Structure 1
Amino acid sequence: MTPQVVLDILGEAFFLTVIIVVVIVGPSLAVGLIVSVFQAATQINEQTLSFLPRLVMTLTTIMMTGPWLLSRLTDLFNRLIYDIPHIIG
């Protein structure tokens, strides 16, 4: 196994991790920004007003994109498991 193979595997895994984080956290950040602008405009300083919409958006995003993210993860791990003889040998 060459260092280049290890770097390729780690790079692919890191890229998938970044995709998963962006897909889950991105919509939550957008909702948080909208709620923050609303709070600043109306001068409402309620903490739960900021927390609850982000929580709901995060859960909704996980429910909607969960199967796709899980298929991407299983594809990566299946490819790694099937390539073990080629990587070692």
Structure 2
Amino acid sequence: MTDTDVIEIAMKTMMIALKLSAPILLSALTVGFAVSLFQSMTQIQEFTLAFVPKLVAVGVALLISGNWMLHTLVTFTQDLFAMIPSLLV
């Protein structure tokens, strides 16, 4: 196993982590920004008003993209296990 192999695996792992976290983070960011804008316009400073919509948005994002996320992670893991024999040489 060379240093190039390690860097390649690390890069693939970071890209998968970025792809898997993007739907959840983007939905929380979008809803958080909208709620923050609403709170600043109406001067309502309630913690649950900011927390509950984000929680719902993250849940919906997981429901919509969960199958794709699981498939991506399983495929990556299978590819990683398939690479083991070639890395040991």
Q: TM-score range by the shorter chain?
A: over 0.9
Amino acid at match of 1:13: T
CA RMSD, Structure 1 to Structure 2 (Å): 0.8
Tell me the equivalent position of 2:34: 34
Tell me the equivalent position of 2:53: 53
The residue matched to 1:83 in structure 2 has which SS?
helix
Return the offset for 1:68.
Answer: 0.2
Cα distance per residue 1:18-76 (max 9 Å; x no partner): 11122211111100000000011011111111100000000110111011011111111
Tell me the equivalent position of 2:76: 76
TM-score by length of 2: 0.95
TM-score by length of 1: 0.95
Tell me the matched-pair count: 89
How many percent of aligned residue pairs carry the same amino acid? 33
Q: Distance in 2 between matches of 1:87 and 1:74?
A: 20
- 5+ residue gaps in structure 1? none
- The answer to whether 1:3 aligns with 2:6 is no
